Structure 1
Amino acid sequence: MPKLIKNGEIVTTSQEWVQDVEQQTIDSNSIVPMQFWLENKPTVAGIWIDAGEGTEALADVDLTQFDVIAVHFPAFADGRGFSYARLLRERLGYTGDVRAVGGFIPDQLGYLLRVGFSSFLFAPEVDLEKALKLHKPFSIAYQGDVHDPRPLFLRRS
């Protein structure tokens, strides 16, 4: 079973990120591609959004049926996933687990948290213990984020 970082801890998950629906078995623990789910509506643990797909197709979907919505990063330099997480949280009101999967790197963890990600499935070669040290790299940020949209000057007592 894969290990990931969730809520500041290294945990094992039974959920499987299905990247190839033709080759992998789909069951209630699967995280399937968004387009596959939209066309077939199987009962699954969650869906994943690929870079370039956007979140618009989910506007009329009851997102509470998903335990997790994953966002795929094809490369660490592809920033579209940051926007997708923020849109899921702020525009679509999703309160479940938003998971980063794919080609992101541990150095991005603090920024991923700020836009609404709550779990991280790193590539197998990433040392999760080292990545966990970057889980909360900044004690305070000047800008607002999905957890508290107020800028620093409005948060001071």
Structure 2
Amino acid sequence: MLRVIASALKLENNRYLYQETLFNGIAFYMVGDVVDRVCQFVDGVNKGDYVFECLAQKQSLIAIDADALESEYEIEPFLFREKLFSGIAYDFDRDRCVEIALYQEGFKYYSESWYYSGELGVLTVDDSSLYQDFLWYLNGNYQQIHLQEKKLLLL
């Protein structure tokens, strides 16, 4: 499923087009750096609000363009408006969304990234004891699963 910034859509005959084709996918409505609304489109028709499965319990979190995140040397922890960021960050490559990430107190703990075609490419889950990465080929077949135990530094 394609995911694009809504401003890339063109309204023609009461239907939305993306690159001259009826749009089927997800569109992000932006107000500055903040994602104001996410809608699903089918055959060029806006079907209303869309909630990513991974966000079903997190709708009260702020959602932003990942380019608005700040940090020293571009490593965690990340800040938004000079505060540790807790929320949802969408990464856009031109007008397409290529990643969604969840942050808590400046640290990423979940992300999904997609190929330009909209197919899932990488799923990353980071919990208190384990790093988990799942990778897919463009054709949808599994490429690799990577699990790594976190080492705790005790002082």
- Please indicate the TM-score interval, normalised by the length of the shorter structure: 0.3 to 0.5
Larger radius of gyration: 2
TM-score, structure 2 normalization: 0.33
Q: Which one has the bigger strand percentage? A: 2
Larger relative contact order, structure 1 or 2 (CA cutoff 8 Å, min sep 6): 1
Task: Give the structure-1-normalised TM-score.
Answer: 0.33
Q: Which has the higher helix share?
A: 1
